[in-house]
Amino acid sequence: MTMVRDRVRSPEPPQSSTPPPPPPGRRRRRAERQRPPRRRLLPRAAPVRSPLAGTITWALIALAIVTTWVVLYGLVASSLQHSHNQSVLYSKLREQLALETAPLGGQVSPGSPIAVMDMPSAGLRSEVIVEGTAPRDLMNGPGHRRDTVLPGQPGVSVVYGRAKLFGGPFHRVTAAHAGDVITVTTGEGTAKYVVERIRHAGDPFSPALATGAGRLTLVTSESGGWRGGWAPSRAVYVDAALQGKAFVDPGGRPSYVPTAETAMHGDVGALYVLVLWLPVLVIGAVVAVWAYDRWGRWQTWLVGMPIILAGLWGVSQTAVQLLPNLM
């Protein structure tokens, strides 16, 4: 008897109705076909500027830089320059006093130290007075008007001082009161003055001096209204009487001074020097642009900036001389 064995077959897996997912590459391509096409953004065209507009823009930028520097020079750098010059002048005058070679009168070269003044009520201590009252002379400190006698001698000695720029050594002189003491040391000795009055614009002059008497007149500037505190517009005078016997006057003083050395006047001749300094500033700017294009940033600072700074310094010093000498 033949035995027939039924072969047991393993059950087949059920057929799914969901098709298998496509490969990753095929899915990406299908998604890209279904995605709406991107709009290509055209590059924005640069605005067209005329050469004249570019030149005007750079000219205005340069003018703004120069103006800002002149203001900073007048308010900050000039004070540092005044302090340095006063230190040098004090050392020079101290040596001359020790050697008895300090000027006593006659023709004294402008800018030379002639005296040391102290006025505690105005904050002046060991302030060196130089000869001359031109704007350039008053950059160093108070200046003695050349057509008047030296302090301590018989007659009226006039000393100018700035109120704002270059340290403003006389900015507190207008707050003086009658009886304040002023001492001035020259090659002839130390003279003592006592403040009598303060004269403003329109006030009458002080009476004439008696024979052998002396007077010291300090001149600075003041302002009022909307210009108060930053733009002095008129001169103010402080008269002080000499105490004791006056020194000997050797004579030989100039009989007049030019307009640039009178109160509230600038030096018009500085305009010609300003014309010479402006090309230096322009050349420095051109060199800086050329160095930036050809070499690089630090080479530009190394080559161009010294020329630009020299031009700015020269322009600033010359421009200040065009302003009134008592500012």
Q: Under a CB-based contact definition with an 8 Å cutoff, are residues 105 and 153 in contact?
A: yes
327 part of a folded domain? no
Boundary-marking domain end, from 229, 261, 293: 261
C-beta separation of 115 from 151 below 8 A: yes
Given this model, what pLDDT does residue 12 score? 56
Q: Assess contact for 237 and 173: CB atoms under 8 A.
A: no
pLDDT along the chain (327 residues), means of 10: 47 56 59 61 60 69 76 84 95 95 93 97 95 96 97 97 93 93 97 96 90 96 68 88 95 92 93 84 75 71 75 84 91
Together in a domain, 191 and 252? yes
Q: What CATH number corresponds to the domain at position 181?
A: 2.40.260.10
Q: In this structure, is residue 27 part of a structural domain?
A: no
Flag whether 179 is in a domain: yes
The rounded distance, in Å, linking the Cα atoms of 170 and 164 is 8
- Confidence at residue 265, expressed as pLDDT on a 0 to 100 scale: 93
The reply to whether 173 and 141 lie within a common domain is yes
Q: In terms of residue numbers, what domain contains 118?
A: 71-90+103-261
Supply the pLDDT for residue 283. Answer: 77
Q: What is the pLDDT of residue 229?
A: 57
Is residue 173 a part of any domain in this protein?
Answer: yes
pTM of the model: 0.78
Helices (H), the chain: 24-34, 51-72, 78-99, 270-294, 297-321
Same domain, 218 and 278: no
Nearest CA-CA partner of 323 in 247, 256, 276, 267:
267
Nearest to 120 by CA among 204, 46, 192: 192
**pLDDT of amino acid 145:** 97
**Same structural domain, 184 and 301:** no
Cα-Cα-Cα-Cα torsion 127, 131, 134, 138, nearest 10 degrees, comes to -10
Picking from 212, 229, 261, the residue at the C-terminal end of a domain is 261
Q: Name which of 171, 104, 112 is nearest 143 in CA terms.
A: 112
Cα–Cα dist 32/30, whole Å: 5
Let me know whether 317 and 299 are in one domain.
Answer: yes
Q: Does a structural domain hold residue 115?
A: yes
Last residue of a domain, one of 240, 261, 282: 261
Residue 5 pLDDT: 47
At what angle are helices 270-294 and 297-321 packed, to 10 degrees? 170
One domain, residues 231 and 299 = no
Contact between 220 and 235 under an 8 Å Cβ cutoff? The reply is yes
In a domain, 107, yes or no: yes
> What is the C-alpha separation between 128 and 166, in angstroms, rounded?
14
For residues 97 and 81, is the Cβ–Cβ distance under 8 A? no
Same domain, 216 and 302: no
Sign of the CA dihedral 314, 318, 319, 325? positive
Backbone φ and ψ of 198, nearest 5°: -120, 130
Residues 152, 298, single domain; the answer is no
CA distance 218 to 165: 17
Query: Does 219 fall in a domain?
Result: yes
Sign, Cα dihedral of 248, 254, 255, 257: negative
Residues 114/127, Cβ–Cβ less than 8 Å? no
Q: Residue 146 in contact with residue 138, Cβ under 8 Å?
A: no
- Our count of domains for the chain comes to 2
Instruction: Dig out the tokens for 86 from the structure.
Output: 């006063």
Residues 242 and 212 in one domain: yes
CA angle 74, 79, 83 (to 5 degrees): 150
Please check whether residues 196 and 299 belong to one and the same domain.
no
Nearest CA to 186 among 161, 214, 163, 165?
214
Claim to verify: residue 278 and residue 173 sit in the same structural domain: no
276 and 207 in a single domain? The answer is no
32 lies in some domain? no
